[in-house]
Amino acid sequence: MYDLDTTSHPRGDGVRDLTLTDRWNTPLGKPNGGYILAAMLRGLGEEIKGSDPLVAAITYLASPETGPAELRTSALRRGRRVQTGEAALWEGDRHIAQLVASFAGRDGGRTHELGTPPQLPAPDDCVDPRGQGLPDDGIFDRVDYRLAARPGWADGAPNGDPTVELWQRLAGGREIDLPALALLCDSYAPPVMELGELASMTVQLTVHLHRRPEPGWIATRLTTRHVVNGFHEEDCELWDEAGNLVAQSRQLAILL
Amino acid sequence: MYDLDTTSHPRGDGVRDLTLTDRWNTPLGKPNGGYILAAMLRGLGEEIKGSDPLVAAITYLASPETGPAELRTSALRRGRRVQTGEAALWEGDRHIAQLVASFAGRDGGRTHELGTPPQLPAPDDCVDPRGQGLPDDGIFDRVDYRLAARPGWADGAPNGDPTVELWQRLAGGREIDLPALALLCDSYAPPVMELGELASMTVQLTVHLHRRPEPGWIATRLTTRHVVNGFHEEDCELWDEAGNLVAQSRQLAILL
């Protein structure tokens, strides 16, 4: 479903048609923001014929609905090493989201890693949240999640620590490409729920895509450290099973 | 000079004229990226009549020159709580940078801080880098820096730890407004220099502006943890003297 649901069809002049399906809906009944980002990033990349996506910055402007949508893309600059474009997602006369993304080849160049991946039990030794008090349709049908323990907020007892580590993969183990990494940065419940805040809406999300993952699960670290006057940031790191950082993101969200 | 050098003049239809001065040049002889961001953010905010800037995501497309430039702005959405616009900076036929920024009132709402400010000696007990092997004109005339110790890279001995903490303020102690916070997120030398990488160029920078600072110096924490195939991220936190987080940023940059 990932391939089908993130496909857009060129209509010419940089405009593309797509359909936001209900298969990636959040528990609030709206298309997940990471799914929207993946579809927009994939369409923009095909349109401007960039290399691999490198960085994607999306601002969510209005609440999305499932159904037909239009992606209006344009190239901003085609450099030798980096290509940049932008894409606007429209549903009828509603401007849903605005994306600026850069694409680049990632061969060679220095690598120096100072971070460490989450320390999680093996996926088979973790909790599958489906049927464990968490929702079990929409995006929970499309992404497999494995948690070290059942989250406190699911039992009405937020633990006060807005940090979550979990495994993720596309349902059934489908290969995870770079746009899918962008999806996985914003596919799980916000860690701010462990502060008892059960409704949060992303305003802006920037994703750095570092490398294609090795096959397998993605170890995910989500954390919120700063809540200021009703807005909060949320950081995400994604690591593959070989222990490589594959993507990271930061978002600014508003408490509802 | 901050007020003068970040001013743009409306020409109508969302277009504004400005001049990038040489007073904020980096040691490479180009206008500093944070200065460009502050000028664009200020012009966009005046044009769309948004509330305070909340989040700014800029992509640098081409190397800037000093001289006259044009800011082309447009509103993307005017919501009740959040207003969003975009701005393109042009120099002649060269598209220099693209900004998407959101603005919002920040009154009330929950605050919950889990981070801690840098532990620095008092500014008067710190090193002023001017005349200490670091450059002493351009942006070093416009921003006051105070370091706990002379950086390793300034003596040709990078210390291997790409984390730097320092005090910053606008020259002479001029009040720091929210666009100036965006400037201070990208005003100092990149910490990746402590890995011996002396030339790095920002591709994309996202700044979260949390609150106006109390008067005084800004404690700044800069860190790079992930260098992958010639690209690196860099995080910044800015704290005021009262111990409040006032802004944070993350950028993706390319090693040259």
Question: What is the secondary structure of chain B as a DSSP string?
Answer: -HHHHT-EEEEETTEEEEEE-GGGB-TTSSB-HHHHHHHHHHHHHHHHT-SSEEEEEEEE-S---SEEEEEEEEEEEE-SSEEEEEEEEEETTEEEEEEEEEEE---SS--EE---------GGGSBP-BTTTB--STHHHHEEEEESS--GGGGT---S--EEEEEEEEGGG----HHHHHHHTTSS--GGGGGT---EEEEEEEEEE--PPPSS-EEEEEE--EEETTEEEEEEEEEETTS-EEEEEEEEEEE-
Task: List the CATH number of the domain containing B238.
Answer: 2.40.160.210
- For the cut 80, the answer to whether the pLDDT of residue A132 exceeds it is no
Q: Is residue B18 one of the residues assigned to a domain?
A: yes
Where does the pLDDT of residue A107 fall: very low under 50, low under 70, confident under 90, or very high at 90 and above? confident
Clarify whether residues A95 and A139 are in a common domain: no
Facing residue for B57 by CB, picked from A112, A206, A231? A206
Task: Give me the phi and psi of A144, to 5 degrees please.
Answer: -85, 130
Clarify whether residues A79 and A158 are in a common domain: no
Clarify whether residues A142 and A228 are in a common domain: yes
Cβ–Cβ of B226/A248 closer than 8 Å? Answer: yes
Strands B53-60 vs B200-209: parallel, antiparallel or unpaired: antiparallel
Cβ–Cβ of A77/B95 closer than 8 Å? Answer: yes
- For the cut 90, the answer to whether the pLDDT of residue A130 exceeds it is no
Best A41, A59, A73, A212 member to test B by mutation, with max B CBs in 10 Å, is A59
B51 vs B137, which has greater pLDDT?
B51
Cβ–Cβ of A106/B57 closer than 8 Å? Answer: no
Q: Is residue B112 one of the residues assigned to a domain?
A: no
Q: pLDDT per residue over A5-50, tens digit each? A: 999 999 999 999 999 999 999 988 999 999 999 999 999 999 998 7
Clarify whether residues B89 and B143 are in a common domain: no
Cβ–Cβ of A57/B113 closer than 8 Å? Answer: no
Domain boundary pick from B69, B104, B139: B104
> Which pLDDT score is estimated for B40?
98
Q: pLDDT per residue over B101-151, tens digit each? A: 999 998 889 999 999 999 999 999 999 988 776 777 889 889 999 999 888
Q: Is residue A136 one of the residues assigned to a domain?
A: yes
Clarify whether residues B94 and B132 are in a common domain: no
- Report the domain count for chain B: 2
Clarify whether residues B60 and B162 are in a common domain: no
Clarify whether residues A97 and A133 are in a common domain: no
Where is average pLDDT lowest: A86-95, A224-233, B67-76, B138-147? B138-147
Q: How far apart are CA B45 and CA B52, in angstroms?
A: 8
Clarify whether residues B212 and B137 are in a common domain: yes
Cβ–Cβ of A226/B248 closer than 8 Å? Answer: yes
Q: Is residue B117 one of the residues assigned to a domain?
A: no
Q: Is residue B70 one of the residues assigned to a domain?
A: yes
The amino acid occupying position A52 is D
Q: Is residue B111 one of the residues assigned to a domain?
A: no
Cβ–Cβ of B61/A76 closer than 8 Å? Answer: yes
Facing residue for B100 by CB, picked from A59, A79, A208? A59
The distance of B166 to chain A (nearest Cα, Å) reads: 21
Cβ–Cβ of A245/B233 closer than 8 Å? Answer: no
Where does the pLDDT of residue A241 fall: very low under 50, low under 70, confident under 90, or very high at 90 and above? very high
| Residues of B with Cβ-Cβ distance to A228 under 8 angstroms | 106, 111, 113, 210-211, 245
The distance of A9 to chain B (nearest Cα, Å) reads: 24
Where does the pLDDT of residue A115 fall: very low under 50, low under 70, confident under 90, or very high at 90 and above? very high
By percentage, how much of chain B surpasses pLDDT 70? 99
Cβ–Cβ of A54/B252 closer than 8 Å? Answer: yes
CA nearest B100 in A: which residue? A59
Q: What is the mean pLDDT of residues A74-98?
A: 96
Q: What is the H or E stretch that residue A121 is in? A: none
Clarify whether residues A137 and A216 are in a common domain: yes
> Which pLDDT score is estimated for B182?
98
Facing residue for B77 by CB, picked from A86, A95, A162? A95
Clarify whether residues A77 and A185 are in a common domain: no
Q: pLDDT per residue over B162-178, tens digit each? A: 999 999 999 988 999 99
Cβ–Cβ of B203/A231 closer than 8 Å? Answer: no
The distance of A141 to chain B (nearest Cα, Å) reads: 32
Q: How far apart are CA B104 and CA B50, in angstroms?
A: 7
By percentage, how much of chain A surpasses pLDDT 90? 85
The distance of B230 to chain A (nearest Cα, Å) reads: 4
> Which pLDDT score is estimated for B107?
80
| Residues of A with Cβ-Cβ distance to B203 under 8 angstroms | 54-55, 82, 102
| Residues of B with Cβ-Cβ distance to A193 under 8 angstroms | none
Q: Is residue B172 one of the residues assigned to a domain?
A: yes
The pLDDT mean for chain A works out to 95
Q: pLDDT per residue over B179-231, tens digit each? A: 999 999 999 999 999 999 999 999 999 999 999 999 999 999 999 999 999 99
Where does the pLDDT of residue A154 fall: very low under 50, low under 70, confident under 90, or very high at 90 and above? confident
- For the cut 90, the answer to whether the pLDDT of residue A171 exceeds it is yes
Q: Is residue A195 one of the residues assigned to a domain?
A: yes
Clarify whether residues A157 and A245 are in a common domain: yes
Cβ–Cβ of A208/B245 closer than 8 Å? Answer: no
Task: Give me the phi and psi of B195, to 5 degrees please.
Answer: -100, 10
Clarify whether residues A99 and A129 are in a common domain: no
Q: pLDDT per residue over A38-52, tens digit each? A: 999 999 999 998 799
> Which pLDDT score is estimated for B164?
96
| Residues of A with Cβ-Cβ distance to B57 under 8 angstroms | 57, 59, 100, 204, 206
- For the cut 80, the answer to whether the pLDDT of residue A225 exceeds it is yes
Domain boundary pick from A104, A132, A148: A104
Facing residue for A195 by CB, picked from B102, B112, B195? B112
Q: What separation in angstroms does the CA of B142 have from each of A16, A227, B133, B145, B180?
A: 46, 31, 17, 10, 12
Q: How far apart are CA A191 and CA A196, in angstroms?
A: 10
Supply the range of the domain harboring residue B31. Answer: 2-104
